[in-house]
Structure 1
């Protein structure tokens, strides 16, 4: 009896030390710059399009339980007409989609650009009744939200929307150049708020690698997640997920040590480990009462193919997030 109690105590202690882990996802996980939205009949994920395939349109994955994923094709076969007019050419693919919901409407923001340039634009589509059973159906093109040109010191890509408790909505965006920016949105149309044209600066590395912003509120703080360093290089990628927080959605954001994110600050949340190379391109999403984080990594065991991973966010007593251990067998 005493031995049995001891074994039980050790098992309990071992679990407490190890803690929970991120889920081991299954199925077709090949996606880049993922966004996930929970809908009535499951989950919809979207990612950057494949270059020169299916018009470079956004890729789709669906799941009934958020764990096992299925290839659901792509969103249309042609890019919106405004893309080619804005850029002077149709790019090889569309980038970095972001799904969110306001009321019963689903909002899809996405980026149109070419690698290494800031001649870019962020577009919007809306869907009144998005379903995992038909994720490519019901979308309406709402056109260009905002753009950047070589004369700007920001890059209008990597959009992510947040709806705040005061009924307002905001769009974070930016990549390299002078970092991450924020604009206010009209919550209903999803387009820029005409009464507030101010551009808020949230984070910068002085022209260094920072992108993939995503915002959430937890307790009395807003949290800004970004990716640092090199993306899109397979097993040579050095992407890593960073975070900072602020008392207002417009900032200023600081990391755990108090370092301003406008001066390169950021607390590391996850970096390469084992088979999980270059984690990043992250975005928070609501899963019932829980807020989770979706991101991609380059799978060392598959030669560097980008894969989807999702995770719950854990919070310490100081109100800082952390990610659980990577799935068993991931190192």
Structure 2
């Protein structure tokens, strides 16, 4: 891009002020020297990415970035990350075709285009009028990219999962027809939507799919064709809820070599507001999948919201309207790091749906938890130098209740130098158990040994609400409830 030479000195001057101000914050925000160094935090993302609502870009796809993203699945090809997502557009009718975006860093996303220009005649006729694509997933296998997609008649089991293939991740794509089809009058249980593809530890492909119409199933695929290995089988039921009033959909599975476990993620709640992500795990690809409290994901006896370990849900920190509809996730392993993508709708206007990417952190007992802040990059330097003095100060704290799917809001949390929480002489206390792990002890006479315990990992992140670097924590309490924290001041009472 050409720039006029006359503006260069101004740009340089402004850049110096910004960089200088950021450095001053990072190194001098606490006179006791407890802030980390500048290169121990992620770099500031572009400010424009923090715009939740921007009517000026509604009809300009090149400016959508994370806007209008729904049900995105993610794949890395060479040095690029790609997402494939549902046809969606705020304040308008979306063009059918499966949206494609790409990024070098999972922060700055550009719109590539669409896989198709219309739903196939076969899919439209089978679904009795389905005219847009839902919830795609894509994998690379046999030197070919396999793209799985859904077409459905909304609110029915008239559904169709199809397959397209290409030798290039950006296409062109060739439609290979149906993988599995369901209709209201058939003798199947499953609903053919929301395909999630995984290659098991032996190298065999599987598809998990389904919804609250019948639950979530997993079925093996033919490695040579990408379609069902046994065409007449709907697979094994691995998750369900009491009835159709209890939403469940959007399954995905990842495998962790360190724990030798498969992790099933799926979404509960309504996509516009209470959407949230739950997780369960199994040593076997076909289950059974158990949550943190050893509840089987197919168990209907309780029929409550208290099955599945919630790791992402609607939330709001201070100084922000928060995010709703935080569900339908994708998963990616990149080297030794794991990430989750999911929808997020603006707290002030739930029709604006964005792509969120967050880092996954693994607990000491092998459960995935999620950063309370969106991904903004990896710091240049590790946080091995994290000390107790870094942790002392004022925080925001929230819990993602498994029972209540309404928006979680934060409360104030003070961590004192003497190890106490909120009151210098109170019974609640905290301690550091490793270089980046702390435990919060909450006194309760009815708790085991009189204390409930949160075990959380501390990490440096970008504070999107206050637009500055900060420390956050994420973890689980003894009951498997996710807890999030964000540091807002290094000095007590500031």
- What is the TM-score of this pair, normalised by structure 1? 0.86
Aligned with 2:172 (options 138, 142, 150): 138
**1:273-317 residue CA offsets vs partner (Å, 9 max, x unmatched):** 122212111011233443321111101255540100112210011
Aligned with 1:325 (options 372, 389, 414): 372
1:28 matched to 2:52:
no
Could you say which residue in structure 2 is the equivalent of 1:286?
Answer: 333
Q: Give 1:194 shift.
A: 2.9
1:305 matched to 2:352:
yes
Instruction: Give, in whole Å, the separation in 2 of the partners of 1:20 and 1:315.
Output: 20
Could you say which residue in structure 2 is the equivalent of 1:84?
Answer: 124
**Alignment check: 8 A CA contact 1:178 1:206 kept:** no
Instruction: Give, in whole Å, the separation in 1 of the partners of 2:254 and 2:269.
Output: 22
Could you say which residue in structure 1 is the equivalent of 2:81?
Answer: 43
The DSSP-based 3-state class of the residue aligned with 1:259 is coil
Could you say which residue in structure 1 is the equivalent of 2:252?
Answer: 214
Could you say which residue in structure 1 is the equivalent of 2:141?
Answer: 102
Instruction: Give, in whole Å, the separation in 2 of the partners of 1:153 and 1:190.
Output: 22
Count residues with an aligned counterpart.
Answer: 315
Instruction: Give, in whole Å, the separation in 1 of the partners of 2:113 and 2:349.
Output: 21
The DSSP-based 3-state class of the residue aligned with 2:338 is strand
Gaps of 5+ in 1: none
The DSSP-based 3-state class of the residue aligned with 2:298 is helix
Could you say which residue in structure 1 is the equivalent of 2:230?
Answer: 194
Rate the CA distance shift 1:126–1:289 in 2: closer, same or farther, 3 A. Answer: farther
Instruction: Give, in whole Å, the separation in 1 of the partners of 2:332 and 2:145.
Output: 13
Could you say which residue in structure 2 is the equivalent of 1:58?
Answer: 98
The DSSP-based 3-state class of the residue aligned with 1:83 is helix
Q: Give 1:98 shift.
A: 0.7
Rate the CA distance shift 1:74–1:129 in 2: closer, same or farther, 3 A. Answer: closer
Aligned with 1:114 (options 153, 156, 164): 153
Gaps of 5+ in 2: 1-27, 50-63, 317-321, 375-462, 467-494
**1:24-46 residue CA offsets vs partner (Å, 9 max, x unmatched):** 89361020000111112512211
Instruction: Give, in whole Å, the separation in 2 of the partners of 1:98 and 1:323.
Output: 22
Q: Give 1:84 shift.
A: 1.9
Q: Give 1:210 shift.
A: 0.5
**Alignment check: 8 A CA contact 1:277 1:297 kept:** yes
Larger Rg: 2
Instruction: Give, in whole Å, the separation in 1 of the partners of 2:231 and 2:349.
Output: 49
State the Cα RMSD in Å.
Answer: 3.0
Aligned with 2:278 (options 227, 239, 242): 242
Q: Give 1:162 shift.
A: 0.5
Could you say which residue in structure 2 is the equivalent of 1:7?
Answer: 32
Instruction: Give, in whole Å, the separation in 1 of the partners of 2:197 and 2:144.
Output: 13
The DSSP-based 3-state class of the residue aligned with 2:242 is coil
Instruction: Give, in whole Å, the separation in 2 of the partners of 1:222 and 1:290.
Output: 16
**Alignment check: 8 A CA contact 2:190 2:234 kept:** no
1:273 matched to 2:315:
yes
**Alignment check: 8 A CA contact 1:145 1:192 kept:** yes
Q: Give 1:191 shift.
A: 0.4
The DSSP-based 3-state class of the residue aligned with 1:281 is coil
Q: Give 1:129 shift.
A: 2.3
Instruction: Give, in whole Å, the separation in 2 of the partners of 1:54 and 1:276.
Output: 22
Q: Give 1:193 shift.
A: 0.5
